[in-house]
Structure 1
Amino acid sequence: MKADPQPTIGSTELQQAVEQAVRRLQQGGLVAIPTETVYGLAADASNQKAVQNIFSAKGRPADHPLIVHLAAPSMLDASLANRSDAWFKLIAPWVRDLPEEAMRLVETFWPGPLTLVLKKDKHVLSAVTGGQDTIALRSPDHPVAQALLQAFGGGLAAPSANRFGKVSPTRAADVSAEFSDQADLLILDGGDCIVGIESTIVDLSSGTPVLLRPGAITPEQIEQQTGVRVLQAGARADSDKVTPRVSGSLKAHYAPNTPLRLYAAGAALDCISQYPDTKSHVALVVWESEQMRDPQVLGASHIHQIPIPEQSDLFASRLYRLLRDLDDHSWELIVMPEPPMGQEWDGVRDRLQRACFGSGPPVSNHVSS
């Protein structure tokens, strides 16, 4: 396995790393790439065998759709002065219907952590869409990912670069550790991911925009900046229609190997006390302003406090890194505070709830939806 030193944008090292990655992708291989959300395991979205290699490497169910990543048009087609026309030219080959609302979201939030689900064009591989008639598209806001996409000249299917259901990677080292048995995996090191959780997913395939996965971009922000109202899943009038399957929608996902539980405000010790068999090595995650001074805690040598930021964006950017680091230190139990209410916290709340459900040794956790 090769994890390249983090290249400087515009440097010869980056150019060489991108060229090597393009060759690997053209040959049907896999490349781990950085994005602003998490690291992705990328393959040529038009190559059936390459796409199937993603599922094999991750242990991912074949009916679980992938997100196709596209280059931004700024350098892709300089001949189109109108940015909207440039985006349309880029997206149109992948879809058979592109609603006006979708273009408003694209023009406002792409490149960025927003995935759109649309009706797919007939040429799109069924393996990419999990056998559905919809496709998920986004353009990542990361200079290394964009350099690769523009050099490659096509779409890249790229789910998170981890074993299916486990904690997503936000550092190149995470990918190396996850796929330590695959020595030939090429990893582009783009530094730590800034957003830290997967993209927001909005379904526009049935006329009414519906939120399928919360993330850093909230429905409130979308409506404020574009006028497009995004409903919660099940809130639309035609909610009896089948909702497209999307990445990260299983009840158990993003899960550490260590049992993970959430505690309500002021109830950390009550939460820990529910696990009397845990005699040592409890990781107690607390808000930075609320580190405990209680002698009952300080005197419990088996409880170790780890502070975490109280700002939703900082919390999100550090969440997966924290879970992976705690997993590496043989804790018997991880307890974390329940996120506050509010759309800005919905993304991390969603990830934590799924992580709790799937956490712990494989024999004891739940892996179905």
Structure 2
Amino acid sequence: MSGATSGGSTPQSLVINEAAQALRDGRLVAFPTETVYGLGADARNPQAIQKVFTTKGRPSNHPLIVHIASPGQIDQAQIDWVSVLAPWARDISEDALKLIQAFWPGPLTLVFKKDKRVLSEITGGQDTVAIRSPAHPIAQELLQQFQGGVVAPSANRFGKVSPTSAADVRSEFEDNADVLVIDGGDCEVGIESTIVDVSNGDRAILLRPGVITPKEILAKTGVQVYSPGEVADTNVHPESLPRVSGSLKAHYAPTTPLRLYAPGRVLDALTEFPDTKSRVAVAVWDSESSLGDDGHPSVQLEEVEVPSDSNAFASRLYRTLRDLDEQGWDLILFPEPPAGEEWDGVRDRLQRACFGSGPSFRSHDSN
């Protein structure tokens, strides 16, 4: 696999020019976004898109997100987003434009009715398409150089822990010479974007939580975002909502078994898994005192501090999971995230990671 870095003797602009040409040539480019590293391909090239699915081992009916450049305008309010989105989306509502003006570029993906030119390989055969404009400067420069849409799911094997550094990407695809990697340092946000469905025009629906919460959206735009459960009593049925990335029950998962424990209940979590061997990594809040000796003599516990601030926790979640997964523990225990919307994104990722974790996680897919 060829690696390009933003440091050293190669100026970053040359690296990005090379990457944009690689995309035009139908190759895959792994690049940093503010959320996680994406595995990018030309969104107009069916063969390149197929490479994304094959390289990741991703089911072909699983839709992809199209990443687009934000026009280089100082004043967001002056950007004509309708014409920017025209090649990809139709029926763009006033509410959608409010969300775009408030949060793009940024970790918010919007689902629209798709334009007829959008390839069905991207949408999983649906009549909707998911789009975002990432905030990372390298991602923006690459998209502007390429001058087109780029599909970019997380740059890792399907179902596994998402990568937040170039080294993570290289370790995932070390046997693949067709992936060009741009090193843009560590990702700031650390979990995938919030996804909101704006395709039916009259109400916005949360399809995947992230660091941008419905509360923040309401405060900044006045747009009410509903959960799928809240719209069940109207003409929108949750099962008819678009399928989106990261919505499978098992996802973001380490090979080591991962479980959540309730406050003060580490011992309960251990006794619940009697087949667990002796070495257990326990994540503890940085705001709490050490677990101390919890009276489980046959288990060697090692504590790992995790931030009690939701954004800091999100930023370090995948890094921590990857590092612990490589250290050969028999079990990883994480504290249940507190109640509150700002924790919904990491709660979602941890629950899916727990369900998919362990060496035999592929067997969960059919359950």
User: Which category of TM-score, normalised to the shorter sequence, fits these structures?
Assistant: over 0.9
1:339 is displaced (CA, Å) by: 0.1
The answer to whether residue 236 in structure 2 is matched with residue 239 in structure 1 is yes
1:84 is displaced (CA, Å) by: 4.2
Letter paired with 1:233: P
- Superposed, 1:225-304 pairs within 5 Å as 225-236=220-231, 237-240=234-237, 242-296=240-294, 302-304=300-302
TM-score (normalised: structure 2): 0.94
2:68 maps to 70
More deviation, 287-296/91-100: 287-296
Structure 1 gaps, min length 5: none
TM-score (normalised: structure 1): 0.94
More deviation, 20-29/177-186: 177-186
3-state DSSP of counterpart to 1:289: coil
The whole-number CA distance in structure 1 between the counterparts of 2:159 and 2:301 is 28
Instruction: Please point out which of 205, 211, 222 is paired with 2:206.
Output: 211
The whole-number CA distance in structure 2 between the counterparts of 1:150 and 1:279 is 51
CA contact (8 A) 2:35 2:189 kept: yes
Q: 1:167 to 1:307 in 2, by over 3 A?
A: same
Q: 1:43 to 1:363 in 2, by over 3 A?
A: closer
Instruction: Please point out which of 173, 183, 196 is paired with 1:179.
Output: 173
Q: 1:134 to 1:364 in 2, by over 3 A?
A: closer
1:293 is displaced (CA, Å) by: 4.8
- Superposed, 1:1-369 pairs within 5 Å as 1-7=1-7, 13-74=11-72, 83-207=77-201, 208-236=203-231, 237-240=234-237, 242-296=240-294, 302-362=300-360, 365-368=363-366
Aligned length: 363
More deviation, 198-207/284-293: 284-293
1:133 is displaced (CA, Å) by: 0.4
RMSD: 1.9
Structure 2 gaps, min length 5: none
1:329 is displaced (CA, Å) by: 0.7
The whole-number CA distance in structure 1 between the counterparts of 2:36 and 2:360 is 23
1:82 is displaced (CA, Å) by: 7.5
Letter paired with 2:27: G
Deviations 1:207-243 (A, max 9, x none): 2100000001000000110000000013221232711
1:87 is displaced (CA, Å) by: 2.1
1:362 is displaced (CA, Å) by: 2.4
Deviations 1:22-50 (A, max 9, x none): 11100001000100000000000011111
1:93 is displaced (CA, Å) by: 1.6
1:200 is displaced (CA, Å) by: 0.2
1:295 is displaced (CA, Å) by: 2.7
1:96 is displaced (CA, Å) by: 1.8
CA contact (8 A) 1:170 1:192 kept: yes
